[in-house]
Structures are given as structure tokens and as C-alpha cells.
Amino acid sequence: MATTQGPRSTATDERGFPRFWDEERETMPRDRRDELVLARIQHQLRYVYDELPFYRRHYDAHGFHPDDVKTLEDFTRKVPVITKKMLVADQQANPPFGSYTPEIPAADLARVHGSSGTSGVPTLYGVSRRDWDRAADVHAMAQWCGGVRPSDLVQVGFPFGLFFGGWGVVQGVERIGAALFPLGVAESEKHLEFLERLRPTVFSGTPSYCMHLISVAQEAGVDLRESSVRTLLVGGEPGGSLPGTRQILEEAWGATLVDAGSTSEMYPFQTNVGCEAKTGTHIISDEVFPEIVDKDDLNVPVPEGDRGAVVYTHLWRESQPMIRFAPGDESYLTHDPCPCGRTYPRLPEGVLGRLDDMLVIRGANIFPSAIETALRSVGGFGPEFEIRVSKRGALDEILVRAEYDPGATAGDAASTEALRARGEATLKRITGIRVPVEVIAPGSLPATVFKARRVVDERARA
Amino acid sequence: MATTQGPRSTATDERGFPRFWDEERETMPRDRRDELVLARIQHQLRYVYDELPFYRRHYDAHGFHPDDVKTLEDFTRKVPVITKKMLVADQQANPPFGSYTPEIPAADLARVHGSSGTSGVPTLYGVSRRDWDRAADVHAMAQWCGGVRPSDLVQVGFPFGLFFGGWGVVQGVERIGAALFPLGVAESEKHLEFLERLRPTVFSGTPSYCMHLISVAQEAGVDLRESSVRTLLVGGEPGGSLPGTRQILEEAWGATLVDAGSTSEMYPFQTNVGCEAKTGTHIISDEVFPEIVDKDDLNVPVPEGDRGAVVYTHLWRESQPMIRFAPGDESYLTHDPCPCGRTYPRLPEGVLGRLDDMLVIRGANIFPSAIETALRSVGGFGPEFEIRVSKRGALDEILVRAEYDPGATAGDAASTEALRARGEATLKRITGIRVPVEVIAPGSLPATVFKARRVVDERARA
């Protein structure tokens, strides 16, 4: 289980390419892999306990010691989880990267990226050179699983900046030796123009962006089914594994959709990846180990196939290793054999939803508390607001309806319009995405309904 | 002169790092380098004549044959130049990359990038895997010359997308093994925030963006001289070598400015790079060979030290090799010894200006013809307009003053405002940058003055 420099595979696919990136690793029998995973877990537990104050404090507080883990079940039952909230607090107390990472001299630090996080203050991710190099290989393995080959030309519609998203795609494509066209954020018409001029075989972006391009193409009289794209490599939000979204995208693009994405904290994030058999997302479990546990007690495993909370563990990261990180995802898992030959566990329907109140809107994680912070900072809004979350197709949309403060805002069209604009600008700044605001009259919202919970979730009804 | 995988240097600098990326190559005596350069020129001429229809046609039409070049002077005197206009026409006739590049299968193609070009249709650049890998090494050599070391953390303010700019910075930083924070296009407040949180030692962006951050910092009460940045690695526009701009930036940032940038066509573009001796930009002439020639006859060399037109030649590129490419830059060159020890020729004041009518505004190349195309496509403007180009500090700014068409536009505030907005949106789309438009009354412009030439260049008066 050293870093692969693939492809290493005796089997070949129908195009004559190696079938696997690392055949031995990807097709290993479960019991053999479990042994290796357990050894890595024990290594990581000792490492984080000995070297990283965040984990030492956390484990001591829970009376846990690394020596307590003799089996994989011990791991689930005995190791306390960590959450995003804990990471944010630790990073604020221990800038710039938190005490859950070792001090890394710049010469050993490859990258810094970040997330918009829960409070408007981005969480920073520092990635060591060894981790970054290894991540490139894992991304290559994942993309290879999804069908990317050296003969492909990959057009990327993910942004390149603070967020990991697009950069992981770059890493995998470069390591595979495919051709990369990293157009990134550009006018959708440009993306369409280059689809025609360059004839890429793979398009990579969020499901919602791939969905958006369908509309743009229709308006331009372009039929995406006629395009050269045969694979959509998506991630950044859950849509890609939802049957409805998948069907719409595959039919409109005339392409196979591959969902490949977990969360930024679990970088390399393409450890959840679909294969050509379309049996759900494989989890590269000897890199990022997944557990499905009881959502009310994250130390209790659920029977295989039952729904529960997802908990992830980095088996190889030395920088910012996540050990039993609970992102709040809900899913179920199976080890049933996949026709593709990989023995990794699968999430047959990907990630089903979020357990806590974190909203995922167009790929961004948004907590209601961040919206509250934004509205409160504007001046002119009253105390009451609601966050309406709805589904457009399979993707979530958001609308903030907020009462104006009659003591600060006249309530005529001009003043509420100005307030709306200020609110949206502040929400954009704090959440990183566009959040529409509707300014409503004081007393519009029944305070009793929204006292404890401001989110009106219309998704269940859809 | 094989691809370097540096650093290879016996000398060390004051921080204990190797002094050069490739000491032998960078400090080679001129006559020895000239021999190697001539051999590469002869190789490239044979290659492009035999393999690339664009060059074969061009050279046949001018009665030139590669065998005619026995000396470097032959090269200057006998080989016809190529221009951007020729490349654009050839690429349009031979999509997607033009007949000035060989057919490259996707497996041998590393990257596709592009330029907004002269007409609104981006010119595409296809880079072979071998060229891309070599470019990484050249960028590393250039950045090493500019003082970047493995101990540095580099925050990047260049965009990552169609344009090469930021990606070359990524390549060099990765090859050197420094830490990279590729924030890219983000709110300036975010750049400032991370300057404080991460304490990067290098900031990389356009001179105008570095200038802009000075204002943003002042407004925020932040003193950039107190920041951790000790090197500004700039490019994308000429400002970085102009003494006035350099002085303002170095004083406000408390940092050393290194100008490193040529043109996209000449990728790897950081072959023009400053060193710590501040003697101008070295040209890595065994990678990209520069000539200074008579601006009225590009086959006539000028005496060393005299001003003339810059002509560049790729000595190693196999994909889209540029042989005697004349970007329209004016400069002068010297081989006088530099205290840094490098024997590369230098442009003591960088690129001085543009010889033709191409405008360079905030790093984008803009031809007056593209502005005319944009205005003509809007509907509502009259026939007359002018392009006012001025200096703000050492950087160029543009304003388009255009008469409205009284037959199509009422001329009241609302209609001219709408026309202005449409004009600016179209100019943004076609030129890729924001070009302010002032809508003026018909007859405001004296047609005689602007009949042949619409550019009002106020830079000379500044």
C-alpha cells in the first residue's frame, strides 16, 4: 500500500488501456485490506495522540487511548468523533492551521487551500508535500476508476482558487497523463464554444453547473448529445449520485456521469468515486476509511445496508489528518461485489443527505448561523427571518425572507430594495455564494414557528 | 542544455541555498552559448519547415530555406518574422490549433490554454507534454533567479483559467518545492486577510493588482510594509520594469519587485526575469532567443544598446513553436556583465512600449479594431468614437468616448445610460476587460482628427 505510481494492472479494458490504476490495491480481498486498514488506523491513532495537541486533548477528555484499539470494531466503538465545529474552534485558537496538524516548515508544505466554513472565516487547509503527492495518485486512481484515460481531453468548469475542487481534478488528470483544459470559471457561452472547438471527451464540474449548461446550450440551439463529451466527472455537491439528477444529465449530455467527491476536510476528496458499472460510489477505503454508524450515537455501528451517519478517517495523511470526522452526511454502505472488479465498499446511492442543519447550496456548505450573522451585521433588518430551502430538480436552492426593522427602514420600495441589495451583498461575502433575499414587512413571520429553527425545508415535500 | 531538474549549483546564496537553478547553463560564456543557440535554431528551422505547413508556406513565399542559416546574423537577416495576426488567421483556417503546430494526440497533449486575441475569438495554445514539463523547469529557473526558494510561501493573485499567467507561477513554485497558496481571483480584502493569517513571503500578480492592493490596504488601515512579503513576483503587463512603478510598489510593500513575464505566445513566459541585482530583466536566451532589430525592417539588427523591436524565438518548443515572433514590443538589450553572475542578455528597462497600435490595458492585449467591432455590434452608436489612452501612475488606462446615433437613440439620460451599459457589456465580452464608455452627443468629435486613427494617446504627455 505504498503510494502508487500507476497504472499497474495486468487486466486491460475494451480500449486496450490497463483496467485498473493499481490492480492489487483495488481488487484486494476484504479481509486482507481490513488488516492493512487496521494497521494504518493504529499508526494514525498513535501519531495524532503523540504529536497533535488537538487530538491528545480530545482523546484524554474522553478517556480514550490509542492502545485501546485492537480491532476495527474497537475503532468505531471507542474513538470519539471530531466535527467541523471543533476544527474551526481549534484553528481559531491555534492559527493558522490548528493544533490538529503538525508544524510544517514551508519547504515541506505544498499547498494551502481553504473553505468558507461555518462562520464566514475560511478554514485553512495546509497540505504537506508528501500528502499532496500522494493525493495526486489517489485522484488519478479515482479518475481512472471513473474512466479517464491518457487519451482524454478534460475541460474543467470548477473554479480554481481557495477551494480544493478544481485542483484535485488537475492533479488526477496530470498524473494520468490526459490533456487538461482548465477553463475554470468562465461565461457558460465560452464553455460551450470550447466544447465545439476543442472537442473534449470529459467535462468536469458540479452537477448543478452541468445542469445549467443544458439550459444555456438549449438557448443557443446546441445539442449537447452531439458534443464530444462522453464522461461527466462531477463533484462538489451530492446531486451526482441522485438517480433523478443523474438521468437528466446523462440523457441531455449523451454521456456517462461519474460522481467523484467527498468533502474538503477529507482531501483527497475523490475517494468517493463511481465506476462504469454504475453501482454507486466506491470508497477508496484503504486511503479514506468510511464507517456508517448510528446517527444518534456515532460509536455504534449499524448493520451493513442500514442507513446511518457517515464517518471518515484519513489513513495516510500526515498534515491535518482527520480521524473519525463526522461531516453530517447520511448514507448506507455495501460490500456486495461490483462487476467492475473493485472490492472497495460502495455507497449505492452516494450521500443521501445531511443530518444536521448544514445546508449545501450549489456546492457550498452554509450553516444557518452564518446567514444569521450576515443579516445581523447589515443593519436595517428586524429580528425575524426564515431560510427557505427547496429543490430545483435534485439540487437545493435557498431563499432568505427577512423582515425589515421599521425603526431603521422606512419600508417604501426604495428603502427595502436598498436593504435587499445590502443583505445579498453581505450574504455573498460571508457565505461565498449568491443567496437571494426577500425583504418582508415586520410581523409577516409567525415568531413561534421559527423561534428555534429558522430553516423551512421544503425539500421533503418535493 | 538538456532539461534541468535543478537546482544544480555549486555556489550558494546568503541563505545557504544553491545560488543558481542551473549554474552551468545560467553562467555559460556568451560564445559557447551562441554556438548552442545556433544549433538549436538550425534544428528548429528544419523542424518547422519540414513538419509545419504554416512555416513551409511562409518561408517558401519569402524564398527562405533553413539551409540558408549558417550564423546567428543569417538568422536575423534571412528569416521572415511571424506576427500575431498571421497566427490568428492560420488558426482560424486550421482549427483548433493552427498549422503552425504538429498534430498532437491527446495522450501527448498536456494543456490547452488561450488568449483573448485581437478579434474576440480566443487564440488557443496547445502545449505538448514534453514542452509543458520543460516549461515547469524554465519557470523554476526564472523564479529562482527572482529569489524564490523552497522556504517560501507564495500567494498568487493571478487568475487561473484560460490564460497562462497563474499556471506558469504554479509550475515554477511546484518545481522549486516552495509552498503555494493559489488564491487567484478573490476579493482584495481576502488577499489582505490571508497576507495576515498565512504570512506568505512572496506575492505574485500583475503590477496593477499589486498597486491596487496598496489602496485597499490603506483604506483598511493595513501597512503592507509590515507584511511578511519580501518579494513581489509580477508579470502580465509591462509596469514591473518601469522605474516609477517599481519604486512605488517596492516602497509601499517593503519588498523587492521581480518582473517576470513576456507574452503568452512565448510560453514559458517567465523567460524575461529580474534578479536581485536589479539590472533589468534577464532573458533566458538558450530557451527563448531574443533579438533587437530595426522596427522598420525586422531583418536588420540594431547595434547592442540601441532601441528597436523585440523578436523572440522558441529554441525548444515542439508544439506551437514561435520562430522570429514579433509581438510589437520595443526595447534595448545589453550583454554587460550582471553582478548576479548570470550571463544572459538583459533588457535593462524591460519592455519599453508597443510599436504598433495594440493597447495593453491591465494585462490584456486590445486592438482598436476589436473596440470598433464591439461598438459596431451594439446598435445605437454613431460612426464616430475615440479611444483615449492615459497613464495612471505607470499603468495604462482606457476610455472609449462614443457618439450615439440620433436615429437610434433618443439622447435623453435613460437612453444614453442604457446604451453605455450595452456598450460596456459588449466591450467586456469582446476584450475580456472592463472598458469604460462615455456616450457623447453626435458631432462632438471632429471627424477629421480621428478619421484614420481613433486612438488618442495621452501617455506621452504624462
Give me the DSSP letters along B239-268. GGGSHHHHHHHHHHHTSEEEEB---GGGSS
Supply B223's cell numbers. 501597512
Helix (H) or strand (E) holding A194: helix A188-198
Is A178–B107 a contact, with Cβ atoms under 8 angstroms apart?
yes
d(CA A257, CA A266): 22
> Which pLDDT does position A270 carry in this prediction?
94
- For residues A114 and A304, is the Cβ–Cβ distance under 8 A? no
Is A151–B106 a contact, with Cβ atoms under 8 angstroms apart?
yes
Is A201–B106 a contact, with Cβ atoms under 8 angstroms apart?
yes
* Backbone φ, ψ for residue B14 (5° rounding): -65, -15
Q: Nearest chain A Cα to B163, which residue?
A: A183
B interface test, pick of A101, A121, A160, A191 with most B CB neighbours within 10 Å? A160
List the beta bridge partners of residue A233: A204, A258
Residues in chain A: 462
* Backbone φ, ψ for residue B459 (5° rounding): -70, -35
Residue A338 amino acid letter: C
d(CA B157, CA A161): 9
Residues of B in contact with A105 (CB under 8 A): 151
Rounded to the nearest angstrom, the minimum Cα separation between A43 and chain B is 27
Residues of B in contact with A160 (CB under 8 A): 160-161, 166, 182, 184
* Backbone φ, ψ for residue B125 (5° rounding): -115, 120
- For residues A448 and A404, is the Cβ–Cβ distance under 8 A? no
What is residue B366's three-state secondary structure? strand
Residue A179 touches partner B, C-beta closer than 8 Å: yes
Supply A416's cell numbers. 427595502
Rounded to two decimals, what is the model's pTM? 0.80
Please give the full DSSP string across A87-144, using - where no structure is assigned.
HHHHHHHSTTT-TTS----GGGEEEEEEE-TTTSSPEEEEEEHHHHHHHHHHHHHHHH
Nearest to B138 by CA among B40, B239, B25, B18: B25
> Which pLDDT does position B2 carry in this prediction?
42
Digit-by-digit pLDDT tens for chain A (462 residues) are 444 567 888 889 888 899 999 999 999 999 999 999 999 999 999 999 999 999 999 999 999 999 999 999 999 999 999 999 999 999 999 999 999 999 998 889 999 999 864 446 789 999 999 999 999 999 999 999 999 999 999 999 999 999 888 999 999 999 999 999 999 988 888 999 999 999 999 999 988 788 878 878 988 899 999 999 999 999 887 667 776 678 878 999 999 999 998 888 999 999 999 999 999 999 999 999 999 999 899 999 999 999 899 999 999 999 999 999 998 888 899 999 999 999 999 999 888 666 556 677 877 767 676 787 778 778 788 767 889 988 877 677 899 999 898 877 888 999 999 999 999 998 888 777 889 999 999 888 765 322 235 788 777 654
d(CA A302, CA A37): 19
Residues of A in contact with B177 (CB under 8 A): 107, 129
Rounded to the nearest angstrom, the minimum Cα separation between A383 and chain B is 28
Supply A19's cell numbers. 483496467
Nearest to A275 by CA among A347, A213, A198: A347
How far from chain centre, in Å, is Cα B347? Answer: 14
Is B179–A112 a contact, with Cβ atoms under 8 angstroms apart?
yes
d(CA A168, CA A154): 13
Is A179–B151 a contact, with Cβ atoms under 8 angstroms apart?
no
CA distances from A310 to A293, A298, A448, B348 (A): 7, 9, 33, 61
Supply B309's cell numbers. 523591436
Calculate helix-pair angle for A165-176, A129-145, nearest 10 degrees. Answer: 70
Question: Worst-scoring range by mean pLDDT, A225-239, A434-448, B26-40, B211-225?
Answer: A434-448
> Helix (H) and strand (E) counts for chain A?
13, 21
Nearest to A58 by CA among A16, A29, A87, A95: A87
DSSP E strand stretches across A284-440: 288-294, 297-301, 308-314, 329-331, 346-347, 353-354, 359-361, 364-366, 381-392, 395-404, 437-440
Pairs from B32-35 (Cβ < 8 Å, separation ≥ 24):
B33/B285, B33/B286, B33/B343, B34/B72
- For residues B182 and B156, is the Cβ–Cβ distance under 8 A? yes
Residues of A in contact with B184 (CB under 8 A): 160-162
In this prediction the ipTM stands at 0.79
